[in-house]
Amino acid sequence: MEEHNIITKRNNVVSSSSSSSSSMLVLIICSVLIHWSIVHTPQAEAARAFFVFGDSLVDNGNNNFLATTARADSYPYGIDSPSHRASGRFSNGLNMPDLISEKIGSEPTLPYLSPELDGERLLIGANFASAGIGILNDTGIQFINIIRIREQLEYFKQYQRRVAALIGEQETEDLVNQALVLITLGGNDFVNNYYLVPFSARSREFALPDYVVFLISEYRKILESLYELGARRVLVTGTGPLGCVPAELALHSRNGECAVQLQAAVNLFNPQLVQLINQLNSQIGSNVFISANAFTMHLDFVNNPQEYGFVTSKVACCGQGAYNGIGLCTPASNLCPNRDLFAFWDPFHPSEKANRLIVDKFMTGSTEYMSPMNLSTIMELDSRI
């Protein structure tokens, strides 16, 4: 009987050990399957990741999570969006990154600061943009707490660490290398820095031509950092016709003519940015950086609004004062009933319809708009790799 009990105990131990080993094996298999499913989900394979850096033209809600006045989180912003609610986009509806996501067959990127950006959603990409920022750290200081471009790049590093923990370092490197990147900077360095107030610190430090050279030298460092962080397809937008936005017309225009000083600044900045992009591509030996001529894209409908279905390109849909260009767009502002008839949504930002026209040029525009190639050509070339 004692021998029988000993044998029984031994069998129980073996059974327990076998059961434990089986459980461990099941856990390992489940872990591997979960990892595989994350990497190989239809969403992950359907479209390339998309990363966005820059200012309010491309911010889709990061500033909602910051203590700053540079926000678009209340009515009537977002009035024409699918949810009809303000999301932090400086638009009546969708903005440029949303529309590019549509074109490349991807879900819209989430703001990097959003708690919803986690797990599998990280594989779609992320939007790091923050309204009010510029190339320079002292641009937009009046907005206090915004994500300056160097901080955006630090968040990009953090993003890559988070994704590596999810899918592995090599898969993360591939995801970033194959991603599309959009960066939009420069406008605020004039509007919210050099020309912010008469005799600003930067205007006393630099004559305008020298200031532009300084901006370009700093932008070079930013683009080089993006490349070092793995970006291999980067759409770089020049600045639009800053002197023609309703806010500047309200301040500087008597008869609707564009503000001369700001137009002069843009005409210095944009050609030097294109030159920088060409230099970088030549050094790298590949067309990593793509120049998007935002100036001409905007000027098309600024000069000929009726041709594009607008009734005006001078008066903002939402605002007050001359050209609806004074102050912010708020619930108390004048609000046009049909946003599709206005090229500008608020004193500074295009309407969704105008954004759609701009993104159409991104996709199919000639080399006058997109150099050395448009986004459709990029997607076709990259699909063969």
pLDDT in tens, 111-145: 999 999 999 999 999 999 999 999 999 999 999 99
- Which one of 130, 253, 349, 371 is the catalytic residue? 349
In 3D space, the residue among 166, 39, 182 whose CA is nearest the CA of residue 109 turns out to be: 182
The whole-number pLDDT of residue 263 equals 97
- Which one of 189, 346, 351, 371 is the catalytic residue? 346
Q: Which domain holds residue 195?
A: 50-291
Mean pLDDT score across all residues of the chain: 91
Q: What are 189-223's pLDDT values in tens digits?
A: 999 999 999 999 999 999 999 999 999 999 999 99
Residue 187: inside a domain, yes or no? yes
Q: What are 295-324's pLDDT values in tens digits?
A: 999 999 999 999 999 999 999 999 999 999
Contact indicator for 355, 96 with CB cutoff of 8 Å: yes
* Section 55-78 average pLDDT: 97
138 catalytic residue (yes or no): no
Global pTM value: 0.88
The whole-number pLDDT of residue 384 equals 84
If one counts the domains in the chain, the total is: 1
- Which one of 56, 130, 253, 313 is the catalytic residue? 56
The whole-number pLDDT of residue 21 equals 45
Conformational region of residue 162, where left means phi above 0, alpha means psi within -120 to 50, and beta covers everything else: alpha
80 catalytic residue (yes or no): no
Residue 366: inside a domain, yes or no? no
Q: Is the pLDDT of residue 6 over 50?
A: no
88 pLDDT tier (thresholds 50, 70, 90): very high
- Burial (CB count within 10 angstroms: exposed 0-12, middle 13-18, buried 19+), residue 338: exposed
Residue 74 in tokens: 């209340």
Distance CA 188, CA 260 (A): 17
Residue 281: inside a domain, yes or no? yes
Contact indicator for 297, 361 with CB cutoff of 8 Å: yes
In 3D space, the residue among 103, 185, 126, 162 whose CA is nearest the CA of residue 375 turns out to be: 103
The whole-number pLDDT of residue 385 equals 73
Residue 32: inside a domain, yes or no? no
Beta bridge partners of 184: 54, 237
Q: Is the pLDDT of residue 11 over 50?
A: no
Residue 306: inside a domain, yes or no? no
The fraction of the chain above a pLDDT of 70, given in percent, is 88
The whole-number pLDDT of residue 47 equals 75
Residue 340: inside a domain, yes or no? no
Residue 78: inside a domain, yes or no? yes
* Section 1-9 average pLDDT: 44
In 3D space, the residue among 314, 200, 319 whose CA is nearest the CA of residue 261 turns out to be: 200
Contact indicator for 161, 153 with CB cutoff of 8 Å: no
Task: Report the CATH number at residue 281.
Answer: 3.40.50
174 catalytic residue (yes or no): no
The whole-number pLDDT of residue 176 equals 98
Q: What are 18-65's pLDDT values in tens digits?
A: 444 444 444 444 444 444 444 444 333 447 999 999 999 999 999 999
Residue 316: inside a domain, yes or no? no
Q: Is the pLDDT of residue 340 over 50?
A: yes
